[in-house]
Amino acid sequence: MMGYSARDAIKCGSATIENHLPETGLQKTVSDILYDLYSSPKRISSKYFYDAEGSRLFTEITRLPEYYPTRTENAILRELPLDKLIGSFDIDIIELGSGDHSKIAIMLDRLLSEDLTHVRYVPVDISQSALETSIMELAGRFPGLAVQAIVADYCHQIHLLPEKRKKLFCFLGSTIGNLNRDEAMDFVRKITRTMNPGDGFLIGFDRIKETAVLEKAYNDATGVTERFNKNILRVVNRLILSDFEPDDFEHKAFYNPSERRIEMHLEAKKQLRIRCPFIEKHFELHKGESIHTENSHKFELHDILAIGAYAGLSADRLFSDNNAWFSLAYFLKTE
């Protein structure tokens, strides 16, 4: 469950997990959600996808044949020159939006066990359940690996990130594409301000490609993405005590060429009245009206370089698959 209730730090072997989400405050969460639902067009932030069920469904999506980004990025990760990125220094690998940690596991698997003693892994995710599962699995798979998991909103709780040691930030899965283009620039710049010279930032970017390939990845034949999209309404119901009925909505995902992004929406199948105790009256959706739930921006090479340049990072290396469907950019803080 997305952890909005306070909870003590949990320990598992040499791993710890701390939940900082309660510091955001439930009242602020409720007012943010209502503000977005009263906007025109209506929207819900994609960060609310990820309760336990949402995180589980996302992992299922990453294994679908239509969902090319994960297997393409994983293949690139298997070939990365880790000696250059991680070296043999004491280092914090800070993964933003770590999800099921499967990508870091690919990198950690390639390090010799003595190199792991220099590494502290710091996964940061809004999904408490994803991090709980991660610390259990990592403790079994990489005994002795130091893990300090942080349940937090990486957009608003950057102050929680460790600063002292040498750092490699990882922001994988093209999660950067969920931010709008200006937000992505500002976000990378904010993270860069916590970095010291010599620290690195590895970012996964989904590239622009044929529309049919893009749209299929978000409209899989077995309907897992549809279930993932609708699950956001259950999360919202729990947070603002509303009575959205997910099956009153249709899953829509399409490529918007002018914004160069996939958009996901939930479209009302009929006129709806949604009740919520935090508002005086119900609010209405007319038949065909949609709630915008996710953007997944796609990137050209110049977008990637612009993000690094705006943050003052130097673009050290770009790793891509042969079709240039996905790229991992390694940026370095030089001064």
Report if residue 148 touches ligand SAM, rule: CB under 6 A.
Answer: no
**CB 275 → ligand SAM: shortest distance, Å?**
27
**CB 107 → ligand SAM: shortest distance, Å?**
12
Tell me the two tokens of residue 124. Answer: 């940061």
**CB 325 → ligand SAM: shortest distance, Å?**
15
| Binding letters toward ligand SAM, positions 33-72, x by CB under 6 A | --------------x--x----x--x---x-------x--
CB 267 within 8 A of CB 247: no
Which one, 108 or 272, has the nearer CB to ligand SAM? 108
Report if residue 295 touches ligand SAM, rule: CB under 6 A.
Answer: no
Q: Which of 19, 30, 44, 97 binds ligand SAM (CB under 6 A)?
A: 97
How far apart CA 85 and CA 223 sit, in angstroms, is 38
Q: Which of 51, 92, 125, 294 binds ligand SAM (CB under 6 A)?
A: 125
From 25-33, 97-105, 215-223, 238-246, give the range in contact with ligand SAM by CB under 6 A. Answer: 97-105
Binding positions for ligand SAM, rule: CB under 6 A: 47, 50, 55, 58, 62, 70, 97-99, 103, 125-127, 130, 153-155, 172-173, 175
